[in-house]
Structure 1
Amino acid sequence: MTGPLHEPRRAVVGVTANRQLLDGVHRDRLRRRYIEALERHGPVECVILPTLDGDLPWEVSVSRLRRVLARLDGLVLTGDESNLDPAVFAGEQRAWSRGADDVIPEARDRPRDRLSSAVLTVALELDMPVLGICRGFQEMSVHRGGALHADLKALGGAVVHSENPDVPRDQQYLPAHGVRVAAGGWLASLVGEVELQVNSLHNQGITAVPPGVRPEAVAQDGVIEALSYTASDTFQFGVQWHPEWHAANDATSQKLFKAFADACLVYQAKERESA
């Protein structure tokens, strides 16, 4: 009779859900691609964080999430088709409180905005590893007071950032344009390259970052495609593209998820030592 298999130590991370309004019914949802990439290439275990309706005041919501994140080792801010409402991140009471127009399919998701605003606040208090993807990348900038371009097409740049709806979904996540990796940054140290080819499925975007945020990669038209927080040595990094979709065959994506998981394990060990 053989003994139990030895499982390597794994971190536990919170992954943000999104709100879906279907047939008049509110649902929280999350694409499996994020979970698969995190568990296979991290590796980590995932806990899904539900969206917030805004029925509770900001302070109460943050207090509750402090208790949740105190049990976790990292935070992942996922992507979604909806656009951000910066008013939620600015702390405007009108946007925080529940409204009849909170969810507009593929356009607005204030319950997700509330969740991301609150969990980012707590994660930074705890100096926890953070990985932002697409929408989550934008949330990391807006949370620090960064401006967000609502429609990149209006800028008239040379790069098409939105997906082509006329091709199959899997093809939409193939590389679409190049990004220049900033010299001396964290991403450069990870990939060891000056340019990457990335997919592109976003209408909103950022061309300048607020204080405390460093651009890590920039597209030809000046749109920032990766960033990191500078106030901490902890992994707090975001990308505008979707590394999860083709992670099984993409070495850069695998390095990214592995680096995040490693940071979560370091954080886990520090928390155990201080407990």
Structure 2
Amino acid sequence: MMDEHRDMTCAVVGVTANRHLHDGIHRDWLQRRYIQALTKYASVECVILPTIDGDQPSDATIRTFREVMRRLDGLVLTGDESDLDPSIFCMNERVWARADDDVVPGETDRPRDRLSWMALTVARELQMPILGICRGLQEMNVYRNGTLYEDLSLSHKGITHSENANLPRDEQYLPVHSVKIAPGGLLSSVIESGELQVNSLHKQGIAELGGGIQAEAVADDGIVEALSYKNSSTFQLALQWHPEWHASSDDKSQKIFRAFGSACDAYLVQRSTT
């Protein structure tokens, strides 16, 4: 049954944190732009999901985590500067236990990898709305056994996918290349457009799509820039770009957040009647 004390007027979504290591101190952190865009345009409340150290076995951890996510109406997989470690997502050979090099600033964030694997596993079980952004898109692909290019600058010369570090931070999130939207897909139905100008701040990128995944947008150099989970009963979409950064001035980004928020609202209503 639904918690009778809960406010039924607003959906609540879990937003993934990242691990930050500075001066030997571990911190969970999240860029504020995600919360601002989700609150204003998706009209949801947000709770931050903490990263996972791996001190406990994955099966024990997921039992606890499942109870947390049963209280939520959606999942947001955020971006991060670290590279994804596919070994944590591998069903047959998962590397789960804590290691000394779990967190290498700007390179590795296995506590985040563990969190995202856990969150995607439970979200799949519960058929929960999902919005993946940048690293989140890569996680959604690898979770379905897709593969990644480790460094797009070594394999794709047509488009520069990484940001220009010499520019001010706000300018790094301005549109730099176009993507073609797949007709008849989820993203096309949301933004009602055949092409978008997007920002690009990523080193890794999709090499092969995982099973049950639909390409929703593709860059001119062939890199998949948006995807969805096929045959999902709800909104499960991921974008390689960052719609949250300039959402206040971009109506297409606002439409994406609103569509996700509507799916979370519908999920809340469904849960309240079961």
- TM-score, scaled to structure 1: 0.95
Task: Name the counterpart of 2:111.
Answer: 111
Give the match's secondary structure for 2:231.
coil
Give structure 1 stretches of 5+ with no counterpart: 1-6
Q: How many residues align?
A: 268
Give structure 2 stretches of 5+ with no counterpart: 1-6
Q: After superposition, give the CA deviation of every residue in 1:161-183 in whole Å (9 maximum; x if it has no partner).
A: 00000110000000010000001
Q: 2: CA distance between counterparts of 1:233 and 1:94? A: 28
Task: Name the counterpart of 2:183.
Answer: 183
Contact 1:95 1:110 in 2 (8 A): no
Give the match's secondary structure for 1:196.
strand
What is the CA distance between 1:94 and its match in structure 2?
6.9
**How is 1:1-275 mapped onto 2 (pairs within 5 angstroms)?**
9-91=9-91, 95-274=95-274
Give the match's secondary structure for 2:188.
helix
Q: After superposition, give the CA deviation of every residue in 1:172-205 in whole Å (9 maximum; x if it has no partner).
A: 0000100000011111111111110000000000
Q: After superposition, give the CA deviation of every residue in 1:48-71 in whole Å (9 maximum; x if it has no partner).
A: 000000001010111111100000
Give the match's secondary structure for 1:148.
strand
Task: Name the counterpart of 1:3.
Answer: none
Would you identify which runs of 4 or more consecutive aligned residues in structure 1 move more than 6 Å?
Answer: none
Give the match's secondary structure for 1:214.
strand
Q: After superposition, give the CA deviation of every residue in 1:244-266 in whole Å (9 maximum; x if it has no partner).
A: 00011110110000000100010
Pair 99,40 (structure 1): closer, same or farther in 2 beyond 3 Å: same
Report the residue type matching 1:51 in the other structure: T
What is the CA distance between 1:233 and its match in structure 2?
2.3
What is the CA distance between 1:91 and its match in structure 2?
4.3
Q: 2: CA distance between counterparts of 1:176 and 1:9? A: 38
Report the residue type matching 1:254 in the other structure: Q
Report the residue type matching 2:143 in the other structure: H
Q: 1: CA distance between counterparts of 2:53 and 2:112? A: 9
What is the CA distance between 1:8 and its match in structure 2?
9.0
Report the residue type matching 1:49 in the other structure: L
Q: After superposition, give the CA deviation of every residue in 1:17-59 in whole Å (9 maximum; x if it has no partner).
A: 0000010000000010000000011110000000000001010
Report the residue type matching 1:146 in the other structure: G
- TM-score, scaled to structure 2: 0.95
Report the residue type matching 1:200 in the other structure: S
What is the percent sequence identity of the aligned residues?
A: 57
Contact 1:178 1:196 in 2 (8 A): yes
Give the match's secondary structure for 2:268.
helix
What is the CA distance between 1:93 and its match in structure 2?
6.5
